[in-house]
Amino acid sequence: MIQEAIREQPVPATGGTELFHVIDPRVFERRLLDELCDLTTQVRTVAKSYAGARLLQELLLNRRAMFHFTQPSTRTFLSFNNACHVLGIRTSEIRDPSTSSEVKGESFEDSIRTFSSYVDLIIMRTHSPGRAAQAARLMDTIPRPVPVINAGSGSDQHPTQALLDIYTLDRSFSERGGIDGKIIGMMGDLKRGRTVRSLCYLMKNYADVHLVFIAPEQFAMQNDVKHHLEEHGIPFRETEQLGKVLPELDALYVTRMQSEWDKADECPAVDFRRFSVGTKELRMLKPEAIIMHPLPRGPELDPAVDMDPRAMYWRQERNGMWMRVAVLLKIFRMESRIQDLDLESFAAQHGDKPLVS
């Protein structure tokens, strides 16, 4: 049976701007992040025409991916699944471990090795942290290793969410100097929110970024992330007063209370209404600021905010699929097939029937 795993050090990327396993955001450098953001935009431009969609769909027709999602997911599962389909990758899945031979006592290692016998990529979401890293390490010891993607590991890390968050920030600030120099607020259950933890790790790549953590004391950002920020000279502040910091923020990243990790009803013991966004908070936010949320949302984000042009979370969600297409292209070293396209002449030659993108 699958055993408990603990937080682990990142499995290094293969070096440079190449990608193989995607386990821990700490291995991502600015050059790779910029390349992924550009590639994401190029892919979604190509996908707008039938000819482009066909081109994308033939790039990885010879590849198969396997989803091992033993913790619930809507967005990550669907966006990766559709990202695979955009590129012609065929997919299979185990979402309920009670339907796999793990219930017969098959070890974690044997299960992962078995998956790798049939597919070219394993995408994993797990309840426990460290499992994807463990799978990646195993892959590195066998004759036919396949890449492993961490699609959310317990309350620890969610690296591809952080990539799509970077893309959303980069795109939103494209007319204002990009992410460099921005003040980014992160609010909610920062202690157990893997999305904000991973996003913090990527911030070392951007100059003069200031972070503001807005959380109840019981759910403050953990020391491992704070130490990382200190090591990389990234200034951060902590507050419980949203109203005091709202006017200075360029982005507010809202997260829900992660009650699924409660051991003794920690969430009901805290008044989270102070850590929510509604129409009153919108009036205090800069006109050009953006509001992000990894979703799903809880009461911390009033649906009335959806109508505000600063609400970026539905675009953020869609950005996730395109960023994951870019990640898959990098893993299978097919990015140059898109990067080398002359997009203008391709559009002129094939811009027959635009698709919605």
> Residue 20 or residue 253: which is nearer to ligand CP going by CB?
253
Binding of residue 318 to ligand CP (CB under 6 A):
no
- Residue 125 CB, shortest distance to ligand CP, in Å, is 7
Those residues whose C-beta lies under 8 Å from the C-beta of residue 71, and which sit 6 or more positions away, are 125, 126, 127, 152
- Report the nearest approach of ligand CP to the CB of residue 26 (Å): 19
Sheet with 90-94: strands ordered across: 90-94, 64-69, 121-126, 148-153
Binders of ligand CP: how many residues, by CB under 6 A? 10
Rounded to the nearest angstrom, the gap between the alpha carbon of residue 235 and the centroid of all alpha carbons in its chain is 23
Q: Is 295 in the site for ligand CP (CB under 6 A)?
A: yes
Query: Would you state the structure tokens that stand for residue 138, as one six-digit string?
Result: 């195993």
**String of DSSP letters for 226-245:** HHHHHHTT--EEEES-HHHH
Residue 75 makes contact with ligand CP by CB under 6 A: yes
User: Which of the stretches 27-35, 68-76, 208-216, 270-278 binds ligand CP when contact is defined by CB under 6 A?
Assistant: 68-76
Shortest Å distance, C-beta 185 to ligand CP: 18
> How many Cβ atoms are within 10 Å of 345's Cβ, its own excluded?
9
Stretch that binds ligand CP, among 19-27, 174-182, 237-245, 291-299 (CB under 6 A): 291-299
Of the pair 57, 71, the CB lying nearest ligand CP is at 71
Task: Out of 130, 152, 154, 193, point to the residue binding ligand CP (CB under 6 A).
Answer: 152
3-state secondary structure at position 341: coil
Tokens of 270: 């805290």
Work out how close the CB of 335 gets to ligand CP at its nearest, in angstroms, rounded to a whole number: 24
Question: Cα dihedral sign for 240, 241, 247, 252?
Answer: positive
Q: With contact defined as beta carbons under 8 Å apart, do 253 and 184 qualify?
A: yes
Closest CA to 229 of 220, 217, 239, 237: 237
**Per CB under 6 A, 161 contacts ligand CP:** yes
- Is 158 a catalytic site residue? yes
Those residues whose C-beta lies under 8 Å from the C-beta of residue 134, and which sit 6 or more positions away, are 5, 8, 108
Verify binding: residue 76, ligand CP, rule CB under 6 A.
yes
Exactly one of 158, 204, 256, 330 is catalytic; which is it? 158
74 binds ligand CP (CB under 6 A): yes
The two tokens of residue 47 are 């996908």
Under rule CB under 6 A, residue 294 binds ligand CP: yes
- With CB under 6 A as the contact rule, which of the stretches 8-16, 43-51, 70-78, 183-191 interacts with ligand CP? 70-78
Stretch that binds ligand CP, among 33-41, 219-227, 266-274, 292-300 (CB under 6 A): 292-300
| Distance in Å, CB of 233 to ligand CP, minimum | 29
- Residue-level length of the chain: 357
Q: Would you say 45 or 73 has its CB closer to ligand CP?
A: 73
Write out the DSSP string of 295-348: S---TTB-GGGGGSTTB-HHHHHHHHHHHHHHHHHHHTT-THHHHTS-HHHHHH
Residues that bind ligand CP (CB under 6 A): 73-76, 152, 158, 161, 294-296
**Residues carrying an active site annotation:** 75-76, 104, 125, 158
